[in-house]
Amino acid sequence: MTGKHHIVIETLRIKYEFDIRRNLTIIQGDSATGKTTLTDLLQDYARDEVNGPIRLQSDVPCVVFGGTEQNWESFIQTIKESIVFIDEGYSFIRSREFAEVIRQTDNYYVLITREALTCLPYSINEIYGIRTSGRFHYPEQIYHEFYPIYKEETECTLNKSAEPVILAEDSKSGYLFLKNCCADKECISAEGNSNIYQIIKKMPREKKMIVIADGAAFGAFIEKVLSVARYHRNIMLYLPESFEWLVLKSGIIQILNLDEILNHPESYIESSKYFSWERFFCELLEKETSDDPIRQYHKNRLTDFYLEGKNKERILEVFPEEVKVLIES
Amino acid sequence: MLNIYFGEMNNVSYGPTWFKYNYELTWFQEPFVQQMLEAVDKSKYVDGSVIESPVLGPIPPEKLSGGLKTLIMIYEMPDKIFDATSCGPNCARWLLEIGKKRDVTVNLRYLMPMEGLEPFELIIANNGERVRTAEAYTLAAVDYL
């Protein structure tokens, strides 16, 4: 499935309105914000779509998981081209088997859970809470909308005197680029998303660190990293979609409709083919440079084309100014 | 005292289901349960099995939030271990309050924030560490999640 899907579900008393634009969306946040009421409404709508008291506006079917811990796989296999909502309390969503099954389906999934689902590559940009807006007031219809819980960039005041350490999530192209830019500054690889919080935790507090990781698949780690970073105080996080997204955004590779693809990736990324958006951006970059040995992009090594002169500068220009300054200073 | 076991734990109970089949109306006459009801669900107990919700209007106890149902079960059945992951960040204060009144153990599979709730005291059940600040709590708990 591709595209952004605008959903409105309402009764005379309650209204929910939101967009779903990736294969994996997480709903969490405070209790009593209306998460279970949302799935109840969708379930009740399915019982009587025509004459019932609930109105649903959606261009694809919205299905609430109604199976059990034992039969979830057969339930999911029967659903096609739909948005599947799974309420909290099911442990199977944490399993590797669940990840393997859903990556081969053409559905989008909305998972209501506060747990970190480390088997799933979900984006920090698709973790939402639900809030009641001021547009309607009791006893009139009460309006609910989604709001993003995390941002690509953390706001913090770093210790100005300390020399920054740059921490990249892995040892591949993103790390190689940063290491090249850092010159005499320390640039280290975390060797995986799950190690980042431990490195921050062990780092002396007088030290300053910039963490740069792929936001497209960082959803399961963001809570732990931010929790530890809050007490370290000298940590800045920058979580763009992926390093390949930064390269594409820089415009150093000419691709037909590139601006349109980057502005609306959901229209181009087929969920059954790409479990995470970072894979799409990586494949796009590899494909578009494959016939040119100078520009050829490899995830595991970077040619000089990306590491020198104006091209390097243009990739750096995509970084937020405060991050760029710290990398280059 | 509140004991929290972080991460995977066997034989924990799911609060909302236990509430659905076990709640007693007399629980809603207890001032402490009414305080939690007003703070978490912004609702008021009326009488019998009627609760007034600002969003849903008059509702039965079955329609309360999963977080509140779990808090009530932790308070009313302190010998059982409930999965408090169904309790959102706005339930943290009430878990600590329950811990002042009862000895309870709960399971948590996310880092429920405790910032702004000091002074408090709880035990990280994974290693027996007694923590009194949000920072000590966070830095101890994060390794088990």
Interface pTM (ipTM) of the complex? 0.94
Tell me the chain B residues in contact with residue A35 when contact means C-beta distances shorter than 8 Å: 66
Q: Are residues A170 and A50 in the same domain?
A: no
Residue A170: is its pLDDT beyond 90? no
Q: Answer yes or no: is pLDDT of A283 > 70.
A: yes
* Residues A123 and A177 reside in one and the same domain: no
Pick the last residue of a domain from A148, A177, A202.
A148
pLDDT class of A160 with cuts at 50, 70, 90: low
Residue to test with chain A: of B8, B70, B138, most A Cβ within 10 A: B138
Look at residue A20 in the predicted model and tell me its pLDDT: 98
A249/A270 same-domain check: yes
pLDDT for res A134: 60
CA distances for A147 relative to A130, B1, B27, angstroms: 6, 35, 35
> Are A138 and A186 in a shared domain?
no
pLDDT attached to residue A319: 95
| Percent of chain B residues topping a pLDDT of 90 | 97
- Same domain for A245 and A326: yes
User: Which range marks the domain in which residue A236 is found?
Assistant: 152-329
Which of A115, A148, A181 delimits the end of a domain?
Answer: A148
pLDDT at A156: 61
Candidates B65, B110, B113; nearest CB to A116: B110
Same domain, A185 and A263: yes
More reliable by pLDDT, B33 or A170: B33
In chain A, pLDDT over 70 holds for what percent of residues? 95
Domain range annotation of chain B: 2-144
Q: Which residues of chain B have pLDDT under 50?
A: none
Burial class from Cβ neighbours inside 10 Å (0-12, 13-18, 19+) for residue A40 reads middle
Residues of B contacting chain A (CB within 8 angstroms)? 14, 16-17, 40-42, 54-57, 64-68, 85-91, 109-111, 113, 115, 135, 138-139, 142, 145
- pLDDT of A221 strictly over 90: yes
| Residue A137 pLDDT greater than 60, yes or no | no
Residue A158 has pLDDT above 90, yes or no: no
Q: Is the pLDDT of residue A153 over 80?
A: no
Residue A100 has a pLDDT of: 97
Last residue of a domain, one of A148, A166, A186: A148
Do residues A162 and A111 both lie within one domain?
no
Question: In the prediction, which pLDDT does A138 show?
Answer: 54
Instruction: Assess whether pLDDT exceeds 90 at residue A171.
Output: no
Tens digits of per-residue pLDDT, B49-76? 999 998 888 999 999 999 999 999 999 9
Check: CB of residue A86 under 8 Å from CB of residue A108: no
Asked if the model's pLDDT at residue A157 lies above 90, the reply is: no
Q: How far is CA B63 from the centre of its chain?
A: 17
Cβ pair A124, A217 in contact under 8 A: no
**pLDDT computed for residue B139 by the predictor:** 95
pLDDT band at A49 (very low <50, low <70, confident <90, very high): very high
- Same domain flag for A160 and A16: no
Q: Nearest 5°: CA angle at B54, between B50 and B59?
A: 25
**How many domains does chain A contain in total?**
2
Q: How confident is the model at residue A53 (pLDDT cuts 50, 70, 90)?
A: very high
User: How close B81 gets to chain A, by Cα (Å)?
Assistant: 15
Q: What is the pLDDT of residue A232?
A: 85
Whether A101 and A162 map to the same domain: the answer is no
Does A106 lie in the same domain as A27? yes
Cα(A3)–Cα(B43) distance, integer angstroms: 39
Interval A290-295 mean pLDDT: 94
Round to whole Å and give the CA distance between A269 and A24. Answer: 13
Name the burial class of residue B21, with classes exposed (0-12), middle (13-18) and buried (19+) by CB atoms within 10 angstroms of its CB: exposed
Q: How far apart are CA B145 and CA B139, in angstroms?
A: 11
Asked whether residue A247 falls in the same domain as residue A218, the answer is yes
Contact assessment for residue A132 and residue A142, using Cβ atoms and an 8 Å cutoff: yes
Contact B55 A37 (CB under 8 A): yes
